[in-house]
Amino acid sequence: MNMPDMNKMKQDCPNKQECLQLLQSILDGEATAAQKETFMKQHLQECMTCYQNYHLEVAIRGLLKQKCSNEAPEELINSIKEKVIKNLGQ
Amino acid sequence: MEEEVVRNQYTDAQKQEIFDMEFMPHINAMYNFAYRLTLERDDAKDLLQDTYLKAYRFIDSFQQGTNAKAWLFRILKNSFINDYRKKSKEPSKVDYQEVEAYYNSEDVDRQITPDLRVESLTNMIGDEISNALNSLDVDFKTVIILCDLEGFKYEEMAKILDIPIGTVRSRLHRARNLLKEKLSEYAKSMGYKTA
Ligand SMILES: [Zn+2]
């Protein structure tokens, strides 16, 4: 994404929630190439609200991935494997 | 899953191979899902173990080469609803229905516009985001886990959750607004400017 000219940007987005939904489907990989192109290359360059939302969405996703994972305890994994082996042939 | 009428007759060796090669690689993601749903380590362990044993028992209805992760997540979600939901720490039925009704009203998105800035997120180096996620109602945290942590597509989520794709989309949007609302509360309590 190019760095937009902050001074020329609109401060308020008339379609904030609709834009946010579109932005989320773009980041989720669920938008069409054309939707993505228009939003990223045009709208984000001229709308401050959506530009900030874009960075916020990306930051939250990063933080979720980084902070919200847990690994299964080793002994639990082993106990599951053992129970399944015992079930074989039954 | 309902549409899978095909029953395979795997040999023991094949069963073992599917289990080891297709089911076990998802055990950490599955454990995390179980833990986020139950919010108790012991319940998460039981739920995970039940799910894997169930997956093994019904292995003949799993089609090799299809999405094992989605298949497993669906079993775990259903086991949670059937066996654990009652005793978990989620809001009572009445609260839940109120929440659902509130968040399904048409203009609610216009009322929730959490003011949160990227800069206040970079200060959240502890458990803030994890606590915020845990505090969401089960249906809302589930879609965030499936989409943002596990990378499922909307269509896969629709199958895992037995809901239409349109509902996946709108529930995700609401869930993310709620998460931001929580995070913005944390940011305020930490004394960071949010707007
Ligand atoms: Zn905009």
Query: How many Cβ atoms sit within 10 Å of the Cβ of residue B191?
Result: 8
> For residue range A6-23, what is the model confidence (pLDDT) as tens digits?
777 888 898 988 999 999
Beta-bridge mates of residue A10: A47
> For residue range B145-193, what is the model confidence (pLDDT) as tens digits?
999 999 999 999 999 999 999 999 999 999 999 999 999 988 888 775 5
pLDDT at B173: 93
Cβ atoms A65, B149 nearer than 8 A: yes
Task: Specify the length of chain B in residues.
Answer: 195
Domain span at residue B120 reads 113-190
- If asked whether residues B150 and B77 sit together in one domain, one would say no
ipTM for this model: 0.89
Q: Which of A30, A56, A81 sits opposite B118 (nearest CB)?
A: A56
Give φ, ψ of A88 to 5 degrees: -60, 140
pLDDT above 80 (res A32): yes
Q: Which of B176, B167, B145 is nearest to B80 (CA)?
A: B145
pLDDT at B195: 47
- If asked whether residues B57 and B133 sit together in one domain, one would say no
Domain span at residue A57 reads 16-23+32-88
> For residue range B86-131, what is the model confidence (pLDDT) as tens digits?
665 455 444 555 555 555 554 455 445 567 888 888 777 778 999 9
A41 in contact with chain B, both atoms CB, cutoff 8 A: no
Residue with tokens 């497993």: B72
- If asked whether residues B50 and B138 sit together in one domain, one would say no
- If asked whether residues B85 and B49 sit together in one domain, one would say yes
| B48 within a domain of the structure (yes/no) | yes
Region at B152 (left for phi over 0; alpha for psi -120 to 50; beta for the rest): beta
- Two tokens, residue A69: 């994972």
| A5 within a domain of the structure (yes/no) | no
- If asked whether residues B121 and B149 sit together in one domain, one would say yes
| A2 within a domain of the structure (yes/no) | no
Report DSSP state, residue A3: P
Distance from CA of A42 to the nearest CA of B (A): 22
Distance from CA of B96 to the nearest CA of A (A): 24
Q: Domain holding B128: CATH number?
A: 1.10.10.10
CB contact under 8 A, A73 and B45: yes
Q: Maximum CA pair distance of chain B?
A: 62
SS3 category, A10: strand
* C-alpha radius of gyration, chain A, whole number: 22
Question: What is the pTM for the complete model shown?
Answer: 0.86
How many domains are there within chain B? 2
For Cα atoms B16, B62, B68, give the angle at the middle one, nearest 5 degrees.
80
| A49 within a domain of the structure (yes/no) | yes
Cβ atoms A12, A49 nearer than 8 A: yes
The pLDDT > 70 percentage for chain B reads 81
Q: Domain holding B69: CATH number?
A: 1.10.1740.10
A contacts of B145 (beta carbons < 8 Å): 68
B contacts of A21 (beta carbons < 8 Å): 169, 173
CA of A20 to the centre of ligand 1 (A): 8
CB contact under 8 A, B144 and A64: yes
How many domains are there within chain A? 1
pLDDT at B187: 84
| B157 within a domain of the structure (yes/no) | yes
CA of B155 to the centre of ligand 1 (A): 27
- Two tokens, residue A49: 């609200």
| B170 within a domain of the structure (yes/no) | yes
